[in-house]
Amino acid sequence: MTTRDRSGLSRWIFGLLIVIILIAAYFAYPWVRTRVGRMRRLSEWMNNPLIHTDWTIPAGDRCGEAPFILPTSGYVGFIWGDSFRPGHQHQGIDVFGGSTPGKTPVLAAYPGYLTRLPDWKSTVIMRVPSDPLKPGRQIWTYYTHLADENGSSYISPEYPPGTSEVFVEEGTFLGYQGDFSGDPNNPVGVHLHFSIVKDDGQGSFRNELEIDNTLDPSPYLGISLDASQNQDVVVTCIAQSDDQ
């Protein structure tokens, strides 16, 4: 290969790398913009929740004719499909109460049969035999981070570890928001993680950690909670009404 050929090949490879970088940047930009925007707003709100009370949702309210009520009060910091890192998608919503652990109540968003597995410190799940949006389909509502950083539970004593299939009405008190992450040295911000989990077809729930096993909560709560549709709008009932 001559010097001219090598020089031409180098320019071709360099040009190809530039194209690859531009394509990667094109696809990465929406992720970066959304991620930075949500983190910036969450930080702003957490530093002083009283400044942005209009950014919050109130526990027990119903947005329009949505089948579910809002399960807790606070700022919806992350929504279904948000990405915390490339390749990851958030399976539900995170509602930050803006208070210390054990202060912000969590309510049942819809009637169902509550289960708390024996080793669950901060989590309960409720079986809904008939999906209000698709009657006859069984779904599950999932509530977690209801414990302090050391795993001391904030779940109501009505539902001790080992609770199985206890019927709970909509609006029933389930516990309080906490900051339990499973690692006392790395607690999460005080919030409720709420998701809607698919049934496995055998009468149990699928693995909530995978987004494909969950449903978009938007139509259930009556607000825009799908990150692919809501990239930069504060999530409130009012914002949803303004969009309609």
Segment 40-79, tens digit of pLDDT: 888 888 888 888 888 899 999 999 999 999 999 999 999 9
Estimate to the nearest angstrom the gap between the alpha carbon of 56 and the chain centroid: 15
Task: Report, as an integer, the average pLDDT of 90-107.
Answer: 95
The residue-averaged pLDDT of 6-11 equals: 56
Least confident piece of the model among 36-45, 75-84, 98-107: 36-45
Average pLDDT over residues 111-140: 98
Is it the case that residue 200 has pLDDT exceeding 60?
yes
- Range name among 75-84, 122-131, 189-198 with the lowest pLDDT average: 75-84
Cα dihedral across residues 170, 145, 192, 205: positive or negative: negative
Mean pLDDT across the stretch 89-117?
96
Please choose, from the candidates 25, 39, 67, the residue with its C-alpha nearest in 3D space to the C-alpha of residue 217: 67
CATH number of the domain at 10-243, out of 3.30.230.80, 2.60.120.380, 2.40.70.10, 2.70.70.10? 2.70.70.10
Confidence band for 29, pLDDT divided at 50, 70 and 90: very low
Average pLDDT over residues 216-238: 86
Pair type for strands 139-144 and 105-107? unpaired
Angle at the Cα of 85 (from 84 to 89), degrees rounded to 5? 60
Residue 70 has phi, psi (to 5 degrees) of -75, 130
Give pLDDT, residue 4. 54
Q: How high is the pLDDT of residue 27?
A: 39
Helix (H) or strand (E) holding 27: helix 3-47
Q: Is the pLDDT of residue 18 over 80?
A: no
- The per-residue DSSP string of 196-239 comes to EEEB-SSSSB--TTSGGGEE--HHHHTS--BTTT-SS----HHH
Question: What average pLDDT is seen over the chain?
Answer: 85
Supply the DSSP symbol for 17.
H
Q: What is the DSSP letter of 167?
A: E
pLDDT at 173: 98
- pLDDT at residue 12 tops 60: no
